[in-house]
Every structure is written in C-alpha cells, then in structure tokens.
Amino acid sequence: MALLARILKARPSPAAGRTGLLGGWDAGQPRLASSGLSARARAEDKGAGRPGASQAGGRAEGPRSLAAMPGPRTLANLVEFFGKDGFSRIHEIQQKHTREYGKIFKSHFGPQFVVSVADRDLVAQVLRAEGASPQRANMGSWQEYRDLRGRSTGLISAEGEQWLKMRSVLRQRILKPKDVAIFAGEINQVIADLIKRIYFLKSQAEDGDTVTNINDLFFKYSMEGVATILYESRLGCLGNSIPQLTADYIEALALMFCTFKTSMYAGAIPRWLRLLIPKPWQEFCRSWDGLFEFSQIHVDNKLRDIRCQMERGERVRGGLLTYLFLSQELTLEEIYANMTEMLLAGVDTTSFTLSWAVYLLARHPEVQQALYREIVRNLGERHVPTAADVPKVPLVRALLKETLRLFPVLPGNGRVTQEDLIVGGYLIPRGTQLALCHYATSYEDENFPRAKEFRPERWLRQGNLRRVDNFGSIPFGYGARSCIGRRIAELEIHLLVIQLLQHFEIKTSPWTKTVHAKTHGLLMPGEPIHVRFVNRK
C-alpha cells in the first residue's frame, strides 16, 4: 500500500472552514493555525520533497507541493457557488471539476482551502490510514452554538476524547446488525401504520392508486421510525393530524436545511460582521434551539417514566435511551445532544434514500418483479419479516446499495488530515480539509461498469466469491467515524421495501416525472415524486 506517509508529529492543528451536516464541501470560516497561518497558507507554503516523506504513486522525484496541484480559480469557484447557486449542484460540480482537473484537485472558497479526492483507491488509502479519532470537518459554528447555550456536543460535532467516549458508549448498542435486530418489532409497527396511511391516501386519489409526494410520506415514516428507536416512544407522524410538538420539530428541521445556505454563510461570516448581517446566524441558532428542545422534551418524558417505574419497584427494561440512563456513562446533557444529533442525522438521510429507491423501482418494473419473486419465494406473500429474514432476500440489500450508489445522500464526505500525508503524489499538510468525492467515484465506469445504469444485481455475490466491496461507493462512510446509524437505517429500509412489495406493485403514474437530484445540504430528489401503489390482490 503506501501512497500514504506519516511524516511529522505533534504539530498544532489548524483546520479548514465549517462544513455541512457531516462535513464535505462547503464554504466557511477557517480556523487559524497557531502559527497564525491558515491551513491554505500553510499548505501552499510547504515545499516539495520534504525530507523523510515517503514516495506517493511511485514518483521518483518526491512529493509535489500543493502549489502544483490543479484546481478551479478562486474567483471562478466563488461565482460558481455564490453566483450560480452551486450549493444545490455540489454533486455535479464535483464531477465537472474531476473531469477538468483530475482525481485530486484543490479549491479555494475565499479563505478556505479544500483538497478534493475523487479516486477510489486514494479515498481508500486516506480512510484506511486514519487514526483512532478522525476529524470529519471543522465544526466551529456547531461548537459555538453549544458554547453559547451551555449545551454539550453530540457524536457529529464532538472531537477527540469527548467523541471517543461517546462513540464507545453508543457503538455498544447500535453499531452491529445484531444490536439493532431487536428493534424490528417496533419498526414493523411503524410500517403497519405507513401501509395504512398509503391505503388511506389511495382512497383519496382520483384514480384510486396514486400517492402524490412520496417524499413527504417517507419523511414521516423515517422520523417516526428513528424516533421510536431513539426515544422509545411514538410521535404520531403517520396519523391524519400531526401533534403540535412534532410539527414544531419538523419546522425546525426544515429551517436547518432550508437555511442551509444561509447557515453556511453564518459560518462564513466573521463574528464582527454578524452585527451588520445578523439573519444567517440567528436562524442557525433558532433551528438548533428547536431541535434541542424537541429532543429534550422526549428524553425528559422517558426519564420521568423510568423514575416512576423505579419508584413503584418495577424492573426497568427498555431500549437505547433506557440503557443510556441506567448505565450513566453519559451525562444528561450528553444524552440530549446525542439524541438531537442522531435524530437530525437519521431522518432526511433515510427518507431521501427511500424516495429514490421507490422511484427507481417504479421506473424499473423488471427489477421490481425480480425482487418481488425473490420475496415471495423466500419469505412468502404476507409473512411480516424480521431482521433475520433480510439475508434471505439479497436483492433487497442490493437495491439499497445501488440506490445509494446512484444517489448517495452525502455526495461528499470530509476528513481533516491529522498528520502530514502524501496523497496522489502531493504532500498534504496536517490540518488540511479533504473532500472525499463519493458522488464522482460512484459514477466512474472503471469503478462500476455501465455506472449510469441502475443495476442492483451488480452488488450480489457471485457463487462463493467474497463480498462485493468498493470504495467507489461508501455511502455510510468508513472506519472509526463511519455512520453509527447505518444498521438502523438499513433495517428501516429493508423491512419497509419487503412489506411495500408484498402489498403493492409500484408503478409510475402520468404525474411521475423524471426527477433530478439536487444538493440541498444533502442530495435529495429535486421535486416531489408521485407513484401508483397498485394492490397486489
């Protein structure tokens, strides 16, 4: 292996600017290195051929400096993002820049400096070499909000020891498939409500089948599903009227994403300028207030229930939240923060993926038919699946992988280098923000033959061959800092797809348009998707 060399130790950590929900490729405010130089200045200052650096990509003359790295000009980039609304096309710009500048290139966003890596093997090398507590992005504005309100960081925003502690507590309960299998019963109850809701919506439709805006339907399902696991209680999202508290939360969540751009500007705007341009920062704080408040109410409700049970001398049993209370490994503030950040991370991600999966099934009846046949053959027409049933229908898993390859919710992920690295022949100084361009690598034919085509079967194991792994598509990230909710999301999606197909044949309707992806914080369907759910019997 070894495109990657560890060179210098124990240097102060500068970091690039604030980034999006989980890092990646946004504009923001740089943190200055203790040297007083920005990561960009430090990065470009460093000359080629640092003594002791190991060779990258077999080049004999030693690593090149970042000054030699190609990339779009700062002004062109600013015009692209701020003038031409590039923030809603981050995925396309990733591909465009990869075509124009190659698989590793640099970009400047004003003071911020980002090195983008759009090569499957280089991404693999960066991620495989990372240390015990990787840093995804500079979460400066998230931290600032938490300091302002006396709140704790959660798993997304925490770093170093604090992150390690919380990760090691949470990973014991939700990281492995067997840990989350116990939630299948609760998820199936939410699915039963969703299916009821679909029958209701169909009954309201002119043609008796079309459900308009499945995006909204799956948003409610995902919110109900993940909250059932996190708070051990139901929210009522799938009823005819949504409880006010939940409606308020949805508004705060929408604000977080709708004001995504402005909240990015909030990070990009120096503090002193907030007096003149206060709105972005105010909205950023307002949406966090709403998200924290919602979580706190649900956490407190559960805590009250548990106290009552204890007072009555009953044995307390429960899920994740109960475990967190009883084990006392996290403080109450840390529990609030983690519940808030996990809910934030677990709703839109799952719901966008479901919308795309159902859209793709409607557009590809032959795939849907194969999937349905496999379900009926291996599970039956009406058997309510458990987690143990999922491996019996490998095409369902393949569908999810292929959906996330074509529409990775996070089109790019991020890492801040914790050591000087040599990547693709360039010396990348410690503290540089890397953007790992999953969207671009997912659409490379050399990584996935006929990459533009929807072909779930590409993910099936052939005979005894080993697992089909591919760093070209890692929608849940990789390694110590990978998505901790992955198994929850998979369970919610696998169980739902099986039951949807047991009940309905999903078809396009005259209203089903070609839907394009748009990056709005996350990669999402650019418009509402309408499909027909035709009863199987």
Closer by beta carbon to ligand HEM, 345 or else 428: 345
Q: Distance between CA 142 and CA 13 in Å, rounded?
A: 18
What is the rounded distance in angstroms from the CA atom of residue 386 to the CA atom of residue 499?
11
User: Applying CB under 6 A, does 413 fall inside the site for ligand HEM?
Assistant: yes
Among 155, 266, 306, 500, binds ligand HEM (CB under 6 A): 155
Which C-beta is closer to ligand HEM: that of 255 or that of 483? 483
Q: Phi first, then psi: what are they for 152, rounded to 5°? A: -90, 165
Is residue 356 within the footprint of ligand HEM (CB under 6 A)?
no
Restricting to residues 85-124, which ones interact with ligand HEM according to CB under 6 A? none
Q: Does 156 engage in binding with ligand HEM (CB under 6 A)?
A: yes
Q: What is the smallest separation between the CB atom of 231 and ligand HEM, expressed in angstroms?
A: 11
Q: With CB under 6 A as the contact rule, which of the stretches 97-105, 176-184, 329-337, 347-355 interacts with ligand HEM?
A: 347-355
CA 251 to chain centre: 20
- Measured CA to CA, the distance from residue 297 to residue 56 in angstroms comes to 52
Shorter beta-carbon distance to ligand HEM: residue 451 or 488: 488
Query: Binding ligand HEM by CB under 6 A: which of 3, 214, 321, 410?
Result: 410
Residues with Cβ within 8 Å of residue 264, at least 6 apart in sequence: 18, 20, 26, 27, 28, 87, 280
Asked whether the beta carbons of 172 and 492 are under 8 A apart, the reply is no
- By CB under 6 A, the residues from 447 to 476 that bind ligand HEM are 475-476
Q: CA nearest 365: which of 491, 463, 454, 460?
A: 454
Q: Is 22 one of the binding residues for ligand HEM (CB under 6 A)?
A: yes
When the beta carbons of 72 and 475 are compared against ligand HEM, the nearer one is 475
Question: Measuring CA to CA, which residue among 531, 534, 535 is closest to residue 360?
Answer: 531
CA neighbor of 17 nearest in space, from 439, 476, 431, 519: 431
In whole angstroms, give the CA distance from residue 257 to residue 393: 35
- Build a one-symbol-per-residue string for 118-137: x at contacts with ligand HEM by CB under 6 A, - elsewhere: ------------------x-
Q: Closest Cα partner for 436 from 229, 214, 180, 127?
A: 127
Q: Is 102 helix (H, G, I), strand (E, B) or coil?
A: coil
Does 258 carry a binding-site annotation? no
Which CB sits closer to ligand HEM, 137 or 427?
A: 137
Q: Minimal distance in Å, beta carbon 47 to ligand HEM?
A: 31
Residue closer to ligand HEM by CB (options 238, 489) is 489
Instruction: Please tell me the distance from the alpha carbon of residue 486 to that of residue 344, in angstroms, as a whole number.
Output: 14
Residues 170-209 touching ligand HEM, rule: CB under 6 A, are none
- Indicate left, alpha or beta for 246 from its phi (over 0: left) and psi (-120 to 50: alpha): alpha
CB atoms near residue 503 (< 10 Å): 19
Which range, of 106-114, 341-349, 422-430, 524-532, touches ligand HEM by CB under 6 A? 341-349
The closest of 505, 492, 495 to 368, measured between CA atoms, is 505
Over the window 474 to 493, marking each residue x when it contacts ligand HEM by CB under 6 A and - when it does not, the resulting string is: -xxxx--xxxxx--xx----
Contact call for residue 428 and ligand HEM (CB under 6 A): no
From the annotation, which residues make up the binding site for heme? 483
From the annotation, which residues make up the binding site? 483
Contact footprint for ligand HEM (CB under 6 A) = 22, 136, 155-156, 167, 226, 341-342, 345-346, 349-350, 353, 404, 409-410, 413, 475-478, 481-485, 488-489
